[in-house]
Homo-oligomer: A and B are copies of this chain.
């Protein structure tokens, strides 16, 4: 059973993932799994039973004919069975590693880029995120669900076939807690949502604005941790991603694709991660949250200074990154 452990000094939790236990010899670089891809059509029997699938022309569960498929992770970081059992060990706190770890297979095509899919297909992927978050939010043991995508080996992906993941945790993650704390503090002072204020300021100033599409905006944040970090968020106040409507998902899909397409052009198809931050399931201040997607191309390596301080050194000012992604910079291949 995996375990959640808390660092007693920094208050940070880690998952000690015994299902994936690693001996020193397992860390050899690039040890890819051989054989057929379990995420390709025909490989359905190699994954755990599906939780959800989009089948435009019908077809049976766990057979081919799907366009999006959600399955439990075969090697989950957290286990969905069991109860939360907190325990102590002297100074230390731990609890059983209860949670969910799911894989969203985004397309039957083994090596399609997300920006090459039909916007309707990407909207279905986002719809799968929405449905899975909404379903897990009903589990009283769980406090949060984070959807994320690792694309490319440099971004931590171990499989090529396009997929995202969802991990639901029984504890609100520290980064979401910190964001929410900042938002609550801002609201106390200003009676306004901090993300709404940011959207307002960026749409007025425009130098960090990348794209607008219907009720969504893509921008370079004022203090990005990494070069070309980009946020996508609704322009109106929306706490939970689950509230997004079907037509909105289609607009969002197109915007996400366009941002990824431009990053690929400007930065030569870099590995990247994106993370969907939605409101915690049952926090009393959840209405202060404003959902957003953070996209980070992996262009540099995190080194000792960042690990030791939490300070990031970013050599690309966001105004510059936004200019490139808008297609306005001289060497920009976007325009």
Contacts and interface: CB of A to CB of B under 8 A. Distances in A.
A324 interface: yes
Given A146-B308, A314-B17, A331 B25 contact: yes
A28 to B, nearest CB: 8
A182 B8 contact: yes
Interface stretch (A89-97, A102-110, A133-141): A89-97
> A27, A89, A296, A300 — which one has the most chain B CB atoms within 10 A of its CB?
A27
A67 interface: no
Copies of this subunit: 2
Interface in A1-59: 3, 5-18, 20-25, 27-28
State which size class the interface on A falls in.
35 or more
Contact of A12 (B266, B305, B310): B310
A175 B227 contact: no
A309 B146 contact: yes
Given A21-B320, A22-B227, A317-B21, A14 B311 contact: yes
Given A77-B313, A224-B14, A301-B155, A308 B294 contact: yes
Contacts of A294: 307-308
Contact of A10 (B6, B178, B305): B178
A309 B169 contact: yes
A247 interface: no
